[in-house]
Amino acid sequence: MTEATIWWLLAGGAVVAELLTGTFFLLMIGSAMAAGALAAHAGFDVVVQLLVAAVIGGGAVVAWYFVKKRRKAGLPKDSNPALNLDIGETVMVYGWNPDGTANVMYRGANWTAIRRHTESAATGPHRILEVDGTRLIVKKLT
């Protein structure tokens, strides 16, 4: 078995492990092993193959770490419109209770609506900003 074949088998094993675990870093290690296989195909000795794999793999992991670190944190699932299709929908508030809640009809059921602390207790159409369990956090439409 040639050195390149061993590198390709290791790269394939890393990709399979990545598919089973969902860890993107294993994909970076797999690409490093593929770079080692290409170095073996180019005729470099084992030391150069290991150096190429280490530089490519280490560089890819460090680069991905900084890319992930610079990314903006995602919205929580309760207020993410991509995950919760109720976000952005409109409900009608006819009156507020003394405790700061309102009973609204939404999707054929009674829901408890609460307003943000900065919002005044106004009636009329409100937009759903967040779903907190069985409560809708709403904001007055202007």
Q: Are residues 87 and 134 in the same domain?
A: yes
Q: Are residues 41 and 14 in the same domain?
A: yes
Mean pLDDT for the stretch of residues 98-118: 89
Q: Are residues 45 and 19 in the same domain?
A: yes
Q: Are residues 10 and 48 in the same domain?
A: yes
Query: How confident is the model at residue 75, as a pLDDT?
Result: 67
Domain boundary among 52, 70, 88: 70
Q: Are residues 66 and 47 in the same domain?
A: yes
Q: Is the pLDDT reported for residue 54 higher than 70?
A: yes
Assessment of whether the complete model's pTM goes beyond 0.75 = no
Domain boundary among 15, 43, 70: 70
* Domain total in the chain: 2
What is the domain range of residue 41? 3-70
Q: Are residues 57 and 31 in the same domain?
A: yes
User: 83: domain CATH number?
Assistant: 2.40.50.140
Give the separation between CA 51 and CA 41, rounded to whole angstroms.
15
Q: pLDDT higher for 75 or 8?
A: 8
| Model confidence pLDDT, tens digit, residues 86-107 | 888 999 999 999 988 999 999 8
Q: Are residues 60 and 83 in the same domain?
A: no
Question: Three-state SS for 50?
Answer: helix
Q: Is the pLDDT reported for residue 117 higher than 80?
A: no
Distances (CA, A) of 133 to 97, 109, 112, 116, 127: 19, 14, 10, 16, 17
Give residue 120's Cα distance to chain centre: 34
| Model confidence pLDDT, tens digit, residues 1-50 | 899 999 999 999 999 999 999 888 899 999 999 999 999 999 999 999 99
Across the beta sheet with 124-132, the strand order is 90-93, 124-132, 135-140, 109-115, 101-106
